Structure formats: structure tokens, C-alpha cells
Amino acid sequence: MKKSILSLSLSVAVSLLAACGGDKVARPYNDGVNIIPTPVEITSEEGSFLLKSSTRLSADRASEVVADYFAAKMSHSTGYNFDRKEAASDVIRLLVDTTLDVPSQEGYTLAVTSDVVTVTGKSAQGVFYGMQTFLQLLPAEIESSEVVDDIEWEAPAVTVRDYPRFPYRGMMLDVTRHYNDVEFIKKQIEVLAMFKINRFHWHLTDDQLWTIEINRYPELVRVGSVRHDQDGSVHSGHFTQAQVREIVAYANERFVDVIPEIELPGHALAALSAYPQYSCTGGPFKHRQVWGVEPDVFCAGNDATFEFLENILDEVIPLFTSKYVHIGGDECPKSRWEKCPKCRARMRAEGLKSTAELQSYFVRRIEKHINSLGKQIIGWDEILEGGIDPSATIMSWQGLEGGIQGARAGHDVIMSPGAWLYLDKYQGDPEVEPMSIGGYLTLEKTYGFDPMPEVLTPEEGKHIIGVQGNVWTEYMYEPGAPEYFIYPRILAVAETGWSPASRKDYSDFERRVDNAYVRLDCHDINYHVPMPEGPRSDYMAFTDTLRLAFTNTRNYPMVYTLDGTEPGVGSPRYVDTLRFVDNDTLKIATLLPSGKTSRVRTIVAAKESLSPAVTSQSRRGIVSRIAYGMYLDSVAMAKAKWSAPKVVSTFDTKWVESPHYKEPWVAVYEGLFEVPQDGVYTITTDQYLLYVDGRPVIVNSDKIATRHLHNKNTMALEKGKHSFKLVVNNRVAGGWPYTWSKATFYYMAPGSSKLVDVCNTPLSH
């Protein structure tokens, strides 16, 4: 039932051999033109260009660095050493022409004939993008880091004229909830640049971790970058200033601007854990151990807070070449400010009528400092509340409204609304996907987003400068896990940011994604592959006959086995409902055109007889016991000092001394629930453990959050009463306290898809 991303990355590593630079297999994904983002204008011509060991790569001075980059890249996969000479034929020619007729410095033209490839950029960045387009005309294996020799490096003859719809095409990565290191970030930048993404927004500070070295305030790293989670585990990580410079230089070589985010005035608890004197109460604090919004924020009344933040910014800003600094500004509760004498004095002194205006005072004061250093701020859309100068750029995340309001008020706007561009949501059925923050955001939905609200006039619309996909990492527990959420959805963001709306076509995009997958394999990217969906559980009980039907979000073929072996290209294709009359184990996976499979679903088909109902007399209420303290697992719980049993009416925790997760306890509820008919029931809970008729039906994780009734099981039950034992473990697992989910369990009756909360049914003991 566990949906580990780690096991997926292992299967990716194995199949990579076949998919990227592998054996002599058909490569249908290389058919046609597979450019992402699709160009503004592309015309097919007669013939094709063949890249050979004799091919030359010539560049004018302005394109030399770009030529070096692509010569190195193409030599890895082809094994050729591209002679850097001008020639009349068998040559790839790179030029900058500042007078090129394209409306953006990032624009380029590309002419591929059977003799010559000419890439002309309006700037070196344009040449870079022209070459990325040329590489996408070649077989996907051109991205391989190892020589592929059983392939013709052939690109169809075309002419292309291309330039971006928007100047800002970004991705944000949160390294504070779960840290990912320098190598991971470089890898993402390398791949994002292939798809003409030109901004990397680096969310460096939050309540859960401070991740950038500041020499003047060493405690920010010593204390702020080490989080002690409630279960005693430690999560830590930071970037030295040398590493930051290294990443910025690496990104700049790929024409990616790195934008640091230093969050203020809220989402600041990691900093305040190190320097509590800059809060309203003075602390002391520990990093926030759960996800969500923290009430303790920077004090707006204390001049020393501003001095602290300005000193930090004075160190941060010279590390970056971007003109932008992101200052956060989202989700700042005002409860501490309302009670703080210093904050109240500030409001009086400055004539501020509300704490919203106090937030605006805070942001403006920081903005002034950043402007004095020659940079401009970006803030989340809440910075509009209480007013902000038009020079601030608004990042519209809560919806389109902030962006619309911002554009009308003369702000530049970057659209990153959660409903389309938060790449931390489920990409398929939560029942088969790894735990995520929630929501349902398929590739198609992300692709369908248009950043230009129809309500804006053309003049206001000029303020929409681009789009960004955001990757918050609360539920991305393992290092590398964000890749599964980023790809392929970020490719949809890339196309939305670059291609004219009139050129977008989702079904053609899907076809091009199939080619891009192989490019991603070459970079060892652990992208999402649609999973076989349908059965709710990986244990499917039945009493007579079981029928299992599968779909996947891309309508890819699926392959399966019944002999315990792993399904692959040669396994039977799933055609229609599978029927089982005996115990069996099904392994089923989605099959990509490259021959790679998704993570395999192993489903046990289990013939059961009905678990008999309890016939003895019972009384109303259920029996509860409690043990205060923290219990990480069942072994520890068995040794706990339990209270005497007590009869309570339901699972609520009103009888518990302190239901707050900071004072942990574990409660066990035992009793009888009643089911209305004979048959197979689907059973689920987000609580820690559930036994039915003595069988462990749900065993949730010690380490990751359990939400969204993610784990389900099935069991054949006779009509009537059945015993249960529900364990509510009031502690934090993976940033989510069990008590944030309802203490109960649910069933789905045979033939129904409706969940019944047992709290609403008769309970007895």
C-alpha cells in the first residue's frame, strides 16, 4: 500500500538503459517534429541534415560560449569532436544578429537544410534557444550522456522563426520543507533550460528551515538550517555562499536567472529560532514541526528587525545577478502584531490604521532598501493588501484576482495560480499516487492555463510578464522526490510561457511529451508516468468473482503478468476487464512508447469467505484507553502505561487532557460497528492503525503524512456487527499531526462508491 517515490526512481534507473542510448529498438517517439515549447513559426522543407563526425560547428564571437556548450553536449551522445571551423557545407553555424526581425532579445531563427544548419539569435540567449530547438529536431538520444552509436543523427529540414510570448518563464523550488542539494538544483536548471525556462525562483527560507549562509549571522545556519522533528529525526541542509555563486554561474551559462526568496514578515520561524529577539514576543522558538502557517513572525515595530533583515539582504543580493529579489509577503498572521507594544507604537507613529497597513509598511521599508541596492522586489499577491508601490512585481498565487488587480494598478505580474501551476498536487488518482498536499492537477489541466485574463485591456495585459510553476516540498520526503512532481507538468508551463496561445494544442503536446520523456531519461529525471488506476486497493477481496478494470490519465497501453514476474514490453497488453475466480497476484504497469514502464502495481486478488458477524448482545458506546507520551510504533505502544478503560460515545477527543499535538498521546478505541449487508467492503482511515475482526486493515506510516484517505483496504464481511480497534496516535508524522485528520474510519458498502463515516452509524461494545 505504500507508494514510495524511491522505489519508482529505482525502476527508472533500470529502464533508463533501454530508453536512453540503449539497444536497437524501434524508436517511434522520434517520429515527427517534437519541439517543446512549440515555435511561433515553423515550416517543413525538403530533405534533412545529418550530423556526422565530419560536421563542423562555427560561431561568431558573440556565440562562442553557446557553441562551446552545445559542442560539449552533442559530443557526449554522438562521440564526435565538432571541428570549430567555418565551411560551406556540413556545418552548424551560430550567429548573433542584433537587428534580427524578432520582437524579443530571446528570439532566433533556425534554418536546417541538407547542407547547413544556421542558428541566428538576436542575442546569445537567442542562439542558445535556437540550438535547443535544433537538438529537439534530432533524435531524443542526443541528450544522452553516453555515446549512442546505433542511430542516425538526422534532423528534418525546417525553417523556424521563434520568440517568447512572455519574458518570465519560471519554476520555484522550496528547499526549506525538504532540502535538495546543489547537484539536484543544477540538474533541474540544466533540464529546465532545454525547454526555454529562464527563471529559477529559489525559496530559501521559511518556518521549517533557513538554507542560506549569512556570515554576519552565523546562527542562521547553525540553528536555522537544522530542524529537529517531533519524532527525534533531524532534517537539515543549507547552501554556502560559494555554493550559491556556483549555482548562479551555472544557471547563467544556461540563461537562467536565479531569484532568491528571503521570506518576510511571515514564514520566518527558522530565522526566529536562531534570533528570537526579532519577533514580537522574544521567543524562544523551535522550527515549526508541522506544515501550515505560523503565528510568530518578524516584529514590525522593532527597528532592529529591519536592521537585521537589511544586513541579510546586503549579503544575499551580491551573490545573485538577477534584477529581482523575492521577499515573500504571503500568509503573515497579524495576531502577534495586534498584541505587541512595539508594533502598536509603530502603527500610531506612522498613522497606520490596520495591521494590513503595518504589513504594507514592512514590505515598503524593505523594498526601499532593496531598490537602493539596484534591485526590484517580487512578492506574493498579499503584498497588495494595505498598498504597495507600483515598482513591486506581484506573483499571483491565490488565483487570478491578485494578478488582475496588480496589473490594473500598474504592477508587473507573474501568474502562478495554485489551481493550475502548483506542481505539488496529485497528477492522478490519489489512491495510486504518492502522498501529496492534495488537489488534482493533471498535465492537461496545467497545459490548459492561460495567463492572460480576458478582463484586462491590452494596455493592462502588458503587465502580465509571465508564468511560473511552484514546487512546495512538504510532502516530498525523499531527496530527489520533487522531480516526480515537476515533470512533465513543467513542460506544459514552459509551452504556456513561450508559445503563442493560438499554437497550443494539447493532443500534439502529449505526442511531443512522449519524445521529451526520453530526453528526461537521458538526464536521469524521475518523472511522473501515469499509473494504472481503477482498483482502490492493492488487496482486492472477493467472494465469488473479481473483476478489475484499469485506465490511466494518458490512455497509454498497460501490460501485466500473473506469474509474479515484472511486466514489460513483451508482457500481455491489458485489453479489457480482468476476471479472477481464485487467489492470484496481478502485476500491472503503464507502458510508454519508449518501452519504459510506470511503477508496477501489485494487486492481490484474495478469495475470502465472509468474516462472521458478532452475535452476542452489546451495549451503546465504545471503550477507550489512553497513554500520554510519544509512541513511535506499536512496540513502544505495547509497553505504554495505559489508563483504565472508559466508555465513550464516539471517537472524539474531548475527554483527552490536551488534544494538542505538542503534548502527544495515543488512544485506542475498541468496539463494534455494523454493516448493512453481506459482501466486500472497502475500508479506510487516516488514523494510525485499524483492525477489523482482529485483522490489521489499515497500517499507516510512522514517517509520512496520511491524508485524503489515501490508503484503502478491502474485506468480506457478513451483515451485522464486527469488532474494530482504532488507534489514534496524536503525534506528528511527516509534518502532519494525526489529530488534524478526523478520528474515525469509513467503509464503502458493496456496489457503492459512497464512503460511510462510522461515527454516523451505531457503535457499541
For Zn ion, the closer of residues 244 and 352 by Cβ is 352
For Zn ion, the closer of residues 37 and 266 by Cβ is 266
Q: Does 385 bind ligand ACM (CB under 6 A)?
A: no
Work out how close the CB of 292 gets to ligand ACM at its nearest, in angstroms, rounded to a whole number: 10
Q: Does 397 bind ligand ACM (CB under 6 A)?
A: yes
- Give the chain's radius of gyration (CA, Å): 29
CA 501 to chain centre: 25
Active site residue: 203, 235, 267, 528, which one?
Answer: 267
Angle 305-309-312 from CA coordinates, rounded to 5°:
145
Residue pair 726/690 in contact by the 8 Å Cβ criterion: yes
Work out how close the CB of 331 gets to ligand ACM at its nearest, in angstroms, rounded to a whole number: 5
For ligand ACM, the closer of residues 473 and 744 by Cβ is 473
Q: Which residue is listed with cell 490604521?
A: 353
For Zn ion, the closer of residues 340 and 586 by Cβ is 340
- Is residue 563 among the annotated active site residues? no
Q: Does 475 bind ligand ACM (CB under 6 A)?
A: no
Q: Exactly one of 179, 380, 688, 745 binds ligand ACM (CB under 6 A); which one?
A: 380
For ligand ACM, the closer of residues 330 and 674 by Cβ is 330
For Zn ion, the closer of residues 5 and 297 by Cβ is 297
For ligand ACM, the closer of residues 331 and 510 by Cβ is 331
End-to-end CA distance of the chain: 30
Task: Report the C-alpha gap between 440 and 628 in whole angstroms.
Answer: 37
* Residues touching Zn ion, count (CB under 5 A): 6
Q: Which residue is listed with cell 475498541?
A: 670
Kindly state the DSSP code that residue 562 receives in the 8-state scheme. Answer: S
Q: At 183, is the secondary structure helix, strand, or coil?
A: helix
Task: Report the C-alpha gap between 121 and 163 in whole angstroms.
Answer: 10
Residue of minimal Cβ distance to ligand ACM: 330
CA 604 to chain centre: 30
- Is residue 267 among the annotated active site residues? yes
Which among Zn ion, ligand ACM, none contacts residue 670 (Cβ within 5 to 8 A by kind)? none
Which among Zn ion, ligand ACM, none contacts residue 299 (Cβ within 5 to 8 A by kind)? Zn ion
Q: Exactly one of 68, 181, 246, 330 binds ligand ACM (CB under 6 A); which one?
A: 330
* Binding pattern for the stretch 288-307 against ligand ACM, x by CB under 6 A and - elsewhere: --------------------
Work out how close the CB of 340 gets to Zn ion at its nearest, in angstroms, rounded to a whole number: 3
For ligand ACM, the closer of residues 162 and 474 by Cβ is 474
Which among Zn ion, ligand ACM, none contacts residue 340 (Cβ within 5 to 8 A by kind)? Zn ion
Active site residue: 83, 231, 331, 608, which one?
Answer: 331
For ligand ACM, the closer of residues 416 and 552 by Cβ is 416
296-355 residues in contact with Zn ion (CB under 5 A) are: 299, 301, 340, 342-343
DSSP-assigned states of every residue in 335-378: HHHHH-HHHHHHHHHHT--SHHHHHHHHHHHHHHHHHHTT-EEE
Active site residue: 141, 143, 206, 207, which one?
Answer: 206
For ligand ACM, the closer of residues 380 and 681 by Cβ is 380
Dihedral over Cα of 82, 84, 87, 93: its sign: positive
Work out how close the CB of 381 gets to ligand ACM at its nearest, in angstroms, rounded to a whole number: 8
* Binding pattern for the stretch 270-289 against Zn ion, x by CB under 5 A and - elsewhere: ----------x---------
**Quick one: which segment of 201-209, 252-260, 292-300, 511-519 binds Zn ion (CB under 5 A)?**
292-300
Work out how close the CB of 444 gets to ligand ACM at its nearest, in angstroms, rounded to a whole number: 22
Burial 433-472 (b: 16+ CB within 10 A, else e): bbbbbeeebbbebbbebebbbeebeeebeebbbbbbbbbb
* Residues touching ligand ACM, count (CB under 6 A): 4
Task: Report the C-alpha gap between 333 and 417 in whole angstroms.
Answer: 21
Which among ligand ACM, Zn ion, none contacts residue 330 (Cβ within 5 to 8 A by kind)? ligand ACM
Residue pair 396/381 in contact by the 8 Å Cβ criterion: yes
What's the Cα-to-Cα distance from 659 to each of 82, 728, 740, rounded to whole Å? 68, 11, 10
For ligand ACM, the closer of residues 153 and 397 by Cβ is 397
Work out how close the CB of 380 gets to ligand ACM at its nearest, in angstroms, rounded to a whole number: 5
Q: Does 331 bind ligand ACM (CB under 6 A)?
A: yes
659-698 residues in contact with ligand ACM (CB under 6 A) are: none
Kindly state the DSSP code that residue 690 receives in the 8-state scheme. Answer: E
Work out how close the CB of 397 gets to ligand ACM at its nearest, in angstroms, rounded to a whole number: 4
Neighbours of 376 (CB within 10 A): 15
Ramachandran angles phi, psi of 69, nearest 5°:
-60, -50
Residue pair 190/197 in contact by the 8 Å Cβ criterion: no
Please give the torsion angle defined by the CA atoms of residues 241, 246, 248 and 253, in that order, rounded to the nearest 10 degrees: 170
**Quick one: which segment of 92-100, 165-173, 244-252, 293-301 binds Zn ion (CB under 5 A)?**
293-301
Q: At 722, is the secondary structure helix, strand, or coil?
A: strand
Task: Report the C-alpha gap between 603 and 464 in whole angstroms.
Answer: 48
* Binding pattern for the stretch 133-172 against ligand ACM, x by CB under 6 A and - elsewhere: ----------------------------------------
Work out how close the CB of 357 gets to Zn ion at its nearest, in angstroms, rounded to a whole number: 14
Work out how close the CB of 358 gets to Zn ion at its nearest, in angstroms, rounded to a whole number: 9
DSSP-assigned states of every residue in 408-467: HTT--EEE--HHHHBTTSBSS-TTTSPP-SS-B--HHHHHT--SS-TTS-HHHHTTEEEE
Please give the torsion angle defined by the CA atoms of residues 246, 252, 256 and 260, in that order, rounded to the nearest 10 degrees: 50
Work out how close the CB of 352 gets to Zn ion at its nearest, in angstroms, rounded to a whole number: 13
State how beta strands 622-628 and 665-675 pair. antiparallel
Work out how close the CB of 414 gets to Zn ion at its nearest, in angstroms, rounded to a whole number: 30
What cell numbers appear for 264 in the block? 518576510
Binding residues (CB under 5 A) for Zn ion: these are 280, 299, 301, 340, 342-343
Binding residues (CB under 6 A) for ligand ACM: these are 330-331, 380, 397
Q: Which residues are catalytic?
A: 206, 267, 331
